[in-house]
A = this chain, B = another copy of it.
Amino acid sequence: MAELRGLFDPAGCAVMGASADPAKAGYQIVANMLQAGCEQVYPVNPRGQEVLGLKTQNSLSQIDDPVQMVVSAVPAHYTQALIDDLRMRQRHRGDVRFLVVVAAGYAETREEDGLQRQQALLQACSSLDIRVLGPNCVGVVDNRSGIDTTFISEVSRQEGGISFVSQSGAMGAWLMQDWASRRPPVGLSKFTSVGNMADIDLVEILDHLREDDSTSVVGMYLEGYPQGRSLAESLHRLARRKPVVVLKVGRTDRGARAAQSHTGSMAGQDRIYDGMLKQVGARRASSVEELSDTLQAFDRLQLPEGNRVFLITQAGGPGIYCTDELEKNTSLCLAEVRERTKDKLQRALPPFASICNPEGHADITAAASAAQHARALRVVLEDEGVDAAVLITVPVLFMPAREVARELIQLTESCTAPGKPVLAVLLSGKPVQQGIRMLETNGILTFPTPDRAVRALHHMAEYRKWLRKGEDQHAGG
């Protein structure tokens, strides 16, 4: 699918409808392009103002440099003018390959005008050899190539392995703004908003992301897709290569009707989608938070070899709370460690630590030092019966979060049992912010609550199981 490469890494990008008015999408798009680091951005506006220090051209044809991508923010009723401008450019230069149409007012209105406009635009572009993303989308972000055609207020510029494709611009904006606001921001590879999917659609994007080296995990917000079989096959090919996490809405009858009213998607019977996603190895998230947590876990943690989790908590309450969540809402189980491991824990921990009572959980108590947190973790990771560890601590003034962070960072730098995921939960608020930032910038993933950590780990363990089933079948067949 090298075909779509230019959508994410175009040589030259023109912004039609660029504006000097900060209250317009045509301003924010140029601002985002510049902030993303794009050096070949060309604002186009018939009124010819300057935009953010860049000279504006009256039309596409006046741009001397190559223009592989055109982002259009001009209102839908100027569609014919847009087509004329594209036709002129192609006649003289023939270099435009992709058109991203940000404006609404096309087929999604389900009115005659809008349908005709979309049809006319599509026919013209097809004859001009231009692929179309949208209309009614917010376009693409690529942190490797450095482009951002969206008008989303804040987008993470932190390069990472997560790529996200969305059937709703607003759901995309929700995640993008959330990720950009974290400290440090969540690492992003590519974001694509597909809008009306007049031409380029979900499956093409998924296929492209499968082959994309900078993408380690794919997230998708899905309302519905007309060719279920084609989507299933694409997801299956993708899941065999890298994890994919789907937030599929329309779980209820009313939700499905709302989806149909929104993008015209036939959400279909939810249990059919549910079964399909399971079968093709895609993980289904039940909330935006779960989607976000799970994407980060896949991107930044090693896959666990199995579902046996050891839980280390420095207080009883959060330990019981986490045990409940783990046992009730996940397919994870508490690990049974060897007697030698228990002995080592006993020696490493304060006298009243509660070790493996029940199995798989050490309550190291509030008397535990920061060093004892790390020591307990090391001992547990070295046990062969443990596939992953969750560490929950509520630091106090005399055992500050930054000390726990320092010890954990040292541990991961020297640990003899690599390859096992560790999920850290530091509770809570301002007193732990510095510790969380230290951990995150040193590659240790943290979660805001114990329940969110175990949900993400559950998806990882289930994906590992699905992969192994595939390997076994392959080996057997």
In whole angstroms, what is the CA distance A463 to B319 when docked?
29
**Interchain residue pairs with CB less than 8 A apart (13):** A22-B397, A25-B397, A28-B397, A153-B431, A169-B366, A170-B394, A173-B394, A250-B324, A251-B324, A253-B327, A254-B327, A254-B360, A261-B357
Q: Which residues of B contact A61 (CB under 8 A)?
A: none
* A251 CB to nearest B CB, Å: 4
Q: Which residues of B contact A109 (CB under 8 A)?
A: 352
Interface residues on A, range: 35 or more
* A195 CB to nearest B CB, Å: 11
Contact status B427-A321, CB under 8 Å? no
* A424 CB to nearest B CB, Å: 15
Binds B, one of A177-185, A300-308, A374-382, A439-447: A177-185
Contact residues of A between 388 and 402, Cβ < 8 Å to B: 394-398
Contact status A317-B251, CB under 8 Å? no
Knowing A334-B254, A396-B153 are in contact, say whether A180-B430 is a contact too (CB < 8 A).
yes
Task: Say yes or no for A6: interface residue by CB 8 A criterion.
Answer: no
Q: Which of B104, B249, B318 sits near A366, CB closer than 8 Å?
A: B104
In whole angstroms, what is the CA distance A51 to B232 when docked?
67
Contact status A177-B431, CB under 8 Å? yes
Q: Which of B255, B263, B320 sits near A324, CB closer than 8 Å?
A: B255
Closest 6 pairs between A and B when the two form their complex, measured CB to CB: A168-B317, A170-B315, A262-B316, A181-B429, A177-B429, A252-B327
In whole angstroms, what is the CA distance A104 to B173 when docked?
48
Select from chain B the residue with minimum beta-carbon distance to A358.
B257
* A12 CB to nearest B CB, Å: 25
Q: Which residues of B contact A352 (CB under 8 A)?
A: 104-105, 108-109
Select from chain B the residue with minimum beta-carbon distance to A324.
B255
* A440 CB to nearest B CB, Å: 16
Select from chain B the residue with minimum beta-carbon distance to A360.
B254
Contact status A321-B104, CB under 8 Å? no
In whole angstroms, what is the CA distance A396 to B102 when docked?
14
In whole angstroms, what is the CA distance A261 to B356 when docked?
10
Task: Say yes or no for A223: interface residue by CB 8 A criterion.
Answer: yes
In whole angstroms, what is the CA distance A62 to B51 when docked?
75
Select from chain B the residue with minimum beta-carbon distance to A401.
B153
Please encode chain A, from 161 to 194, with 1 for each CB lying within 8 Å of some chain B CB and 0 for all others.
0000011111101110111110000000000000
17 more A-B residue pairs beyond the given contacts A152-B396, A254-B323, A258-B363, with a C-beta to C-beta distance below 8 A: A25-B397, A153-B431, A154-B430, A168-B315, A168-B316, A169-B366, A177-B432, A223-B317, A249-B320, A251-B328, A252-B324, A255-B324, A258-B319, A261-B358, A262-B319, A262-B354, A263-B316
